[in-house]
Amino acid sequence: MTRFTRHQIWFHWLSLLLIAITYAAIELKGIVPKSTPWHDYLKIIHFNVGCFVLVLMCIRLYFQRNQVTPEITPRPPQWQLTLSKVIHYIMYAAFILLPLLGLIMLAVGGKQWDLVGIPMPAFSVPDKETSKSIKEIHETIADIGYFLIALHAGAAIYHHYVVKDNTLQRMLPK
């Protein structure tokens, strides 16, 4: 086996797209004036797409745990394989924790929002202080996410163009 399965490849690139949309929506929300409808639309996009990221990352983690990872040829040193595995698990943790923390933050903060048009419950007695603390953790992990994405992409490019192994090719669509 020299490539990831079609499903693993599809979910990988779909995850990247949804994560990019989630980040873009929240960054643009900070630029768009609150008086425009787009401010609220971007927030809704961020919440909804973040929920889809959570589902996709859980599916990807399932695949990662239950399917064989294709070998890298030529085989990198063991320290690189170990570091890669650690970084991947950190990325899974970050992109599962981010939406979970976001959902908890909304519920604890007493915020009402819709998931693809379905109203989501909020706690009857909001705890603004706890919600604010969760938001700080959420934003810190999101900032770390930028670094993790850059590290992941940089490693793939390094392996493709400098080492010239099949690391990147294993995840590219045919």
Task: Report whether pLDDT(166) > 90.
Answer: yes
In a domain, residue 143? The reply is: yes
Q: Are 41 and 24 in contact (CB under 8 A)?
A: no
**Domain encompassing residue 60:** 6-171
Q: Which residue from 3, 12, 7, 6 is spatially nearest to 71, judged by alpha carbons?
A: 3
Render pLDDT for 45-71 as a digit per residue (tens, 0 to 9).
999 999 999 999 999 999 999 998 999
What's the number of domains the chain is made of?
A: 1
Q: What is the mean pLDDT of residues 115-119?
A: 87
Q: What is the pLDDT of residue 1?
A: 67
Residue 163: give its domain's CATH number.
Answer: 1.20.950
Q: What is the mean pLDDT of residues 13-24?
A: 98
In a domain, residue 69? The reply is: yes
In a domain, residue 121? The reply is: yes
In a domain, residue 63? The reply is: yes
Task: Report whether pLDDT(29) > 90.
Answer: yes
Please count the other Cβ atoms lying within 10 Å of the Cβ belonging to residue 76: 15
